[in-house]
Structure 1
Amino acid sequence: MNSISMKALPIMFLLLSLTGCWNSRELTDFGFIMGISLDQTEGGGIEINAQVYSPTETTGGMGGGEKSAYTNIKTKNESVFDGVRDINRYLGRVARWSHMRVILIGEKFAKEQDIGEILDFFNRNEDVRLNTFVIITNGKAVDYLTVKPFIERTVSQQLQTIIENSNKYTSKTIKAKMLDIDVQLNSKSKTATIPYFKMNDEKPKAPYSSGVAIISEGRMAEHLQPRDVQQVLMLMNEFKSGIIEFPCLDDGSQKTLKMETLETSKIKTKIKPNFSMKPPAIHLFTKIEGTMGELRCTTITNLGEEKKLEDHIKKIIKKNLESVIERMQEEKVDVLGIGNKLYQQDPALWKRWEKEWGDIFADIQFTSDVEVNVKSTGMPIGEKVTGE
């Protein structure tokens, strides 16, 4: 056997050992789910609506006319998995979940069903990304998938961007991904926070962020308004950036209450628990830095006036923080995760208190201190632009 044959023989064996493409699948075999809604039917079943991306034909860079970028498919079943599998009966393609943006859960469903159980299928499905956002909706969740998006190709994408930007620039909602909710619901406090959406009453219809739904023991227990969410994020040390409103110093002489604003640049909160007694004592210290956004009726031309304004803002924020804490204690929802801190510090004590933690949390003695530093008035002189 010549040298060429000797060299070719190993290559032939390698080629014979290679597998073919007998099990390959084309892109056209799949339907990509962008968003899904879950509602409870009158009979107690589950209504699922899946928003499937519908690619449009393009010619020479031009769009494919008026064809919608998505289609919605509805199924009704007794379980999420069975309902999801039935999507194939209508779609004619295999549902793929790797591009899903949001999971919408109707408020009625969230109050009567365990959120952990609802999300169980998605957690077990290896195709679903754990960074998918979850939203609780006012009214039926399906209504939020049928509106026309403003800019994005699908309303599912629009809902995702609303959450991201509302949290980043206003701190009036919370980003809740599947992984975040799993961690929170499996923590000792068993309390999670999920963005809450409403629909406007005007035309065209548009969904908007409207605070946060508090999930306790698996079910929706409370709805926090956007302003309250700011206080909760401050206490959780997760406040990104935003605007803090406060009434003018001289509000007593105003027929209509005027509000001024502080644009925050930094907010830090430290929680110091004392679990040596029952109920525990918790001290909160919140430090806020920012610049003035609006001065409608206040003048700052010297250090004395600046200090007076800082004290005024501090008083308002302290009152708001204590109001939110009082509300959480009334509902016995440990949003701050105090129970988790207790477990980390003293697992044995947590084991003794765990069964009655709701009542213990309601009796905790919270004390708070707030420090406010106005770094800039926003103008060379700290006077309001218009005179009286």
Structure 2
Amino acid sequence: MNSIAMKALPIMFLLLSLTGCWDSRELTEFGFIMGISLDQTEEGSIEINAQSYSPTQTTGGMGEGEKQAYTNIKTINESVFDGVRDINRYLGRLPRWSHMRVILIGEEFAKEHDIGEILDFFNRNEDVRLTTLVIVTNGKAADYLTIKPFIERTVSQQLLTIIESSTKYAGKTIKTSMLDIDLQLKSKAKTALIPYFKMNEEQPKAPYSSGLAIISKGKMAELLEPRDVQEVLMLINKFKSGLIEFPCLDDGSQEASKMEALETSLIKTKITPKFTMKPPTIHMLTKIEGTIGELSCTTITNVGEEKKLEDHIKKIIEEKIESVIERMQEEKVDVLGIGNKLYQQDPALWKKWEKEWDDIFADIQFIIDVEVIIRSTGMPIGEKVTGE
């Protein structure tokens, strides 16, 4: 009898350790939030629009009469915390944030509020994934949640896929998550880059990436125009792949105004700072490898012509990089994170320069060097198809 009791005792302890289902919740009790927008009202309050997924509906190639797969809920409060809590009043379910894809922030809101502080609620919510992407919008952010998606079930999911594909294949934007923003704004440079979106007003309406919002000391300071995005992504080693367009060699012909393209396979930038020099000097070496994506006026039939084209592309990119850096220095925004490198290299010198860093950054001398290697012309012969 004692033997049986001794054998049963471990089993009893195991049974007691099982959690059971006393605190379980059914899926029907939750409202799954796919995206959220933050705007500023005329009175200065915070307008929040939350997009809740409706799993019983269908969309994406919807037939006539079918309903959309989401519901947008609007609240207006004095804080993000109160606004989010009020979602329950309209949704009738407990908001679930684990499936949230994007946080949209209106441009006016981004210029008036500290984004780091605004995102504080979501950072503290254990249900929110820190990989949730953040977007700054031209105009009211709430308007983007009303767009009918082309393929995805919700526009929140569509915005996510636009950023992912544009980052991976086009080099037109950058993925910026809540975690990225938190780390960048807490760095010494206190500067972050967030995708900036506009809306095509033609029917059907469509959101698209159009530059990067530069966040300095918490607020949106400047807009990096689409024409400058590629060069900045090259310098911060965030350019995945894409096409680099360049004009034809100016030989006096009418074809000099045409554009050609290099499809990149590798872009890597090495930054070598020399802060002890007067003025401080930064050498930036960018190595670019790729294949010809399009030729409209150039012929490559030998090594000499290939080298000539490489030098031409090198010159064009160096000029663009110099122009972008010059504008950043004029605005005194350290997008490249040079201040972070100074802190890592010489913490004592950073402590000395920290309060005047914006002015010091504006006076730094940048030495730009670009190396271009054409791995293939993309054709058996390096000629344009219509060439004679």
Asked if Structure 1 and Structure 2 have the same fold, meaning a TM-score greater than 0.5 normalized by the shorter chain, the answer is: yes
| Equivalence for 1:199 | 199
Q: 1:120-139 to 2 correspondence within 5 Å?
A: 120-139=120-139
Closer, same or farther in 2 for the Cα pair 1:28/1:367, shift >3 Å? same
Partner of 1:172: 172
Give the letter aligned to residue 99 of structure 1. Answer: H
1:172–1:227 contact (8 Å) kept in structure 2: no
Equivalence map 1:1-388=2 (5 Å): 21-56=21-56, 66-250=66-250, 252-254=252-254, 257-387=257-387
Say if 1:128 and 1:251 are closer, same or farther in 2 by CA, change over 3 A. farther
Q: Which runs of 5+ in 1 are unaligned?
A: none
CA drift at 1:201: 2.1
- Give the superposition deviation at 1:56: 1.2
Aligned residues of 2:248 and 2:255 also touching (Cα < 8 A)? no
Q: Secondary structure at the match of 2:373?
A: strand
In 1, the alpha carbon distance for the partners of 2:257 and 2:210 equals 24
Deviation at 1:7, TM superposition (A): 5.9
State the 1:21 CA deviation: 3.3
Cα contact 1:278–1:360 (8 A) shared by 2:
no
Residue segments in structure 2 that go unaligned for 5+ positions in a row: none
Distance 2:314 2:19 in 1: 70
Contact 2:192 2:216 in 1 (8 A): yes
Q: 2-side partners of 1:280 and 1:57: how far apart?
A: 60
User: Structure 1 residues 112-121 or 246-255, which shifts more?
Assistant: 246-255
- Residue 3 of structure 1: CA displacement? 7.0
CA contact (8 A) 1:271 1:283 kept: yes
- 1:123 is aligned with what amino acid? N
Task: Tell whether the 8 Å contact from 1:106 to 1:141 is kept in structure 2 after alignment.
Answer: yes
> Given the superposition, is the C-alpha separation of residues 14 and 358 from structure 1 closer, same or farther in structure 2, using an over 3 Å criterion?
closer
Distance (whole Å) between structure 2 residues aligned to residue 322 and residue 17 of structure 1: 65
The residue type paired with residue 91 of structure 1 is L
Checking the alignment, whether the CA contact within 8 Å between 2:57 and 2:69 is kept in structure 1 is no
CA distance in 1, matches of 2:296, 2:38: 46
Secondary structure of the residue aligned to 1:252 is coil
Q: CA deviation at 1:338?
A: 0.5
**CA offsets 1:119-172 (integer angstroms, 9 cap, x no match):** 010011111000000000000000000000010111000000110110111111
The 1-side partners of 2:2 and 2:356 are apart by: 86
3-state DSSP class of the match of 1:233? helix
Cα pair 1:250 1:297 within 8 Å, conserved: no
Secondary structure of the corresponding residue to residue 378 of structure 1: coil
Q: Which amino acid aligns with 1:207?
A: P
* Distance (Å, rounded) in 2 between the aligned partners of 1:370 and 1:345: 24
- One-letter amino acid of the counterpart of residue 77, structure 2: N
Amino acid at match of 1:325: I
> Percent of aligned pairs with the same residue?
83
State the shift of 1:277 in Å.
2.9
Q: What whole-Å deviation, never above 9, does each CA across 1:179-203 have from its counterpart, x for those lacking one?
A: 0000000000000000000000210
Q: Write the letter of the residue equivalent to 1:253.
A: S
The one-letter code matched in structure 1 to 2:187 is S
Deviates more, 1:120-129 or 1:250-259: 250-259
Query: Which residue identity lines up with residue 155 of structure 1 in the other structure?
Result: V
C-alpha contact (below 8 Å) 2:248/2:256 kept by paired residues:
no
How many angstroms does 1:268 deviate by?
A: 1.1
Q: How far has the Cα of 1:305 moved from its partner?
A: 1.0
Aligned-CA RMSD value: 2.2
Change (3 A) 1:153 1:3: same
Partners of 1:386 and 1:239 in 2: how far apart? Answer: 32
| Partner Cα separation in structure 1 for residue 305 and residue 18 of structure 2 | 81
* More moved, 357-366 vs 297-306: 297-306
Q: 1:387 to 1:29 in 2, by over 3 A?
A: same
Give the Cα–Cα distance (whole angstroms) in 2 for the partners of residues 11 and 209 of structure 1. Answer: 59
| 1:71 counterpart letter in structure 2 | T
Letter in 1 for 2:70: Y
Amino acid at match of 1:203: Q
**Residues 1:190 and 1:5: Cα distance change in structure 2 (over 3 Å):** closer
The whole-number CA distance in structure 1 between the counterparts of 2:371 and 2:273 is 19
CA distance in 1: counterparts of 2:80 and 2:345, whole angstroms: 39
> Partner amino acid for 2:222?
E
Q: In the aligned structure 2, how far is the partner of 1:333 from the partner of 1:9?
A: 68
> Would the aligned equivalents of 2:57 and 2:68 in 1 still touch at CA under 8 Å?
no
Deviations 1:236-295 (A, max 9, x none): 122110100000114632178210000011111111100113431111111111111111
CA distance in 2, matches of 1:341, 1:5: 67
Letter in 1 for 2:102: V
**CA separation of 1:258 and 1:80: change in aligned 2, threshold 3 A:** same
TM-superposed CA distance for 1:57, in Å, is 6.2
Q: Distance in 1 between matches of 2:155 and 2:118?
A: 22
